Structure formats: structure tokens, C-alpha cells
């Protein structure tokens, strides 16, 4: 194999590897933008693991959560407790917005369906302002 062919092969292999890794993570990720007092807030949830559990019991789902605005961002790891055996399960999560340069707390209803976590509804307090 010539030096040029070897480099081309290596570059192609690395590109395919990176694409595969991004696809694997992206396959279990959701992303959406919420308008919080006129500021776009992008939220994403990537499921990294879930434990099996008997139907009707707690189903621990490990999630990487990312929250970002033009003013700031943060990422956190969480284990959300859904209910095993349900086609749709929900949890409530509170997110303080100070680290994002915003005031208040976002009260989120997260839904777990088909192996993905999504925001079903969002309420900003104080003021009980419906965001979604």
C-alpha cells in the first residue's frame, strides 16, 4: 500500500468511526429548543443506559442532560426513575436557570417512550409561565 493510499484509508476509517460513534449516541438523543422569556433554551437528553426491571417497578435510566443558551450552558448526568413495562412513563425534574444567565426554575415533565427522553411540558417559576 502506498503512503498516499495508506493515509487516505486511515482518514476514511477515522471518519467512519467518528460518524458511527456520533450516530450511536445520536440514536438515543433528543434535542429541542424552548423559548424562555424570549431566550432560546436548547435542551438535549441522551440515554446512556437503562437497567432492566420488572413491570411496574422503578426503571433507572441514565441520561446525559445538556442545557444551553447564548448566555451559558451546562451538562449533567442524571439517573431518572421511570416505571418499567409502561409504553409511556413520566417524571418531574426541576432545573435552576441561573447557570444559563436566566432567572427562575424550569419545572419539566419528562416522558420516556421508545428508549428516548423528551420534554412533554415545561413551566417557568416564579409566575407559573407555560413554556411548553
pLDDT digits (tens, 9 = 90+) for 97-114: 999 999 999 999 999 999
Give a yes or no: residue 120 inside a domain. yes
pLDDT on residue 27: 66
Question: What's the rounded mean pLDDT across residues 84-104?
Answer: 95
Q: How many domains does the structure of the chain reveal? A: 1
Would you call 98 exposed, middle or buried from its count of C-beta atoms within 10 A (0-12, 13-18, 19+)?
A: exposed
pLDDT on residue 19: 34
Give a yes or no: residue 23 inside a domain. no
Q: Give the global pTM.
A: 0.77
Give a yes or no: residue 59 inside a domain. yes
Range of the domain at 121: 29-130
pLDDT at 15 over 60: no
Q: What is the pLDDT of residues 34-83, one digit of tens each?
A: 999 999 999 999 999 988 888 999 999 999 999 999 999 999 999 999 99
Give a yes or no: residue 6 inside a domain. no
pLDDT at 26 over 60: no
Give a yes or no: residue 94 inside a domain. yes
Would you call 60 exposed, middle or buried from its count of C-beta atoms within 10 A (0-12, 13-18, 19+)?
A: middle
Amino acid at each position: 500500500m502506498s503512503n498516499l493510499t495508506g493515509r487516505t484509508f486511515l482518514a476514511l476509517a477515522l471518519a467512519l468511526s467518528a460518524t458511527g460513534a456520533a450516530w450511536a449516541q445520536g440514536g438515543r438523543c433528543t434535542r429541542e429548543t424552548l423559548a424562555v422569556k424570549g431566550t432560546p433554551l436548547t435542551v438535549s437528553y441522551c440515554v446512556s443506559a437503562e437497567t432492566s426491571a420488572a413491570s411496574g417497578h422503578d426503571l433507572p435510566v441514565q441520561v446525559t442532560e445538556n442545557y444551553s443558551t447564548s448566555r451559558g450552558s451546562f451538562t449533567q448526568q442524571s439517573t431518572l426513575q421511570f416505571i418499567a413495562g409502561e409504553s409511556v412513563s413520566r417524571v418531574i425534574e426541576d432545573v435552576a436557570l441561573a447557570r444559563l444567565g436566566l432567572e427562575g426554575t424550569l419545572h419539566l415533565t419528562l416522558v420516556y417512550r421508545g428508549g428516548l427522553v423528551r420534554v412533554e411540558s415545561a413551566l417557568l417559576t416564579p409566575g407559573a409561565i407555560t413554556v411548553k
